[in-house]
Amino acid sequence: MNTETIRTILEIGETIAVEFKRCGNGIESDVYETVCSFLNRFGGDIFLGIQDNGTVSGVPEKAAPDMVKNFISCVSNPALFTPTVYLSPKILQYNGKTIIHIHVLPSAEVHSYKKVIYDRVDDADVKVTATSQIAQMYIRKQEIFTERKIYPYVTKTDLRLELLSKIRVMADNGSGGGGHLWGSMTDDELLKSARLYTMDRVTGEQGFNLAAVMLLGKDDVIMDIVPAYVTDALLRRVDTDRYDDREIVQTNLIESYERLMEFGRKHLPDKFFLEADQRKSLRDIITREIIANTLIHREYTSSYQAKFVIERERMYVENANRASQNTVITPDNMEPSPKNPIIAAFFRNIGYADQLGSGVRNLFKYSKFYSGRDPEFIDEDIFRIIVPLKKI
């Protein structure tokens, strides 16, 4: 790491991935707490010998090698770190001062320091004690999609198979009238083609998965498997502490989409808009994107309650998320990452969604015509889309 890079980091200050530690009297416990939180989040860089405000005070030059040895010994000690980790701090010189740089990569494991799990929130290291939060961390670390979990005791009688006739028509309409493959399939063939009935290639287990339950499950079956599942649609214009209108949606994703779209039509104005001589509903375009997003990309194993809220000067959705980064998404830095690829593909086939990443571009494009301002996409453990509105 060169001098110019360090100078830039000092100017920006502490962030979710940068931490300064003074360490005037040696390495203290809070350094290891930060190491733990970085391992559990997105990784980061720790600088010893720098004060919180970015002032470089340095560490004793002669003591620096021993500080590095003690640090390595600590992070590799199973009595302190579980699981242990190997890190290689670097001793650097900056403006005549000795500092130590520790680069921490994100880990595939959930780590604890002195039997306490830490997570990184903004520029702080936070103790994680709630069971639901710890479970969410394990979900974030897993390189699997929870929508693929198979439920061997779910059968076709637990699904709303009468919806398949409607789904075939929607898929056919979405194919431009050329005829969708689902139209000529039996129910069993369609369910397998949509990857709703699958095999676990590790265990050999076959059956309907979580995606099938969420898309087509009967309401009581959905509540048995994901009891915290709900989308709370709220209108808050007059009574901003509670609500002016409310609809609690706890049904399959096909009908959830329709009910949430209807809630948006009921409470949002539809501005006249022409594009290439065709009239388009800005209201429907925008609500379609945010509603499809909150249904497709939600982490359904989380107990966090999803919301669709309409206020005077904005509307927003928020839902539990398996964050792949911690940032505000724009069309320039967007890196599409499917959270539930089976559900996403199903929505694309029936015309409820487009290709991955198109929602961000569409919202940035059409929000300017609808309200004159850009939307916000916040990709954290709770994913939020905020769309500004002209004051109603």
**Which residue is listed with tokens 């594009």?**
275
- pTM as predicted: 0.70
* pLDDT value at residue 254: 97
Q: What gap in Å lies between CA 44 and CA 254, rounded to an integer?
A: 41
Instruction: Tell me the average pLDDT across 259-288.
Output: 91
- 373-377 long-range contacts (CB < 8 A, ≥24 apart) are 376/328, 377/328, 377/329, 377/330
Tens of pLDDT, residue by residue over 352-388, are: 988 766 788 899 999 999 998 999 998 887 899 999 9
Beta strands in 147-190 (DSSP E): 150-151
Of 349, 364, 352, 218, which Cα lies nearest the Cα of 294?
352
CB neighbour class for 2 (10 Å; exposed up to 12, middle 13-18, buried from 19): exposed
* pLDDT value at residue 143: 57
* pLDDT value at residue 144: 62
Q: Indicate the average pLDDT of the chain.
A: 90
Ordered domains of the chain (ranges, CATH): 3-129 (3.30.950.30), 150-388 (3.30.565.60)
**Angle 142-104-42 (CA atoms, 0-180°, nearest 5)?**
40
Residues 6+ apart with CB under 8 A from 318: 294, 306, 307, 382, 383, 384, 385
102 has pLDDT over 80: yes
Q: Residue 241 is encoded by which pair of tokens?
A: 């502490």
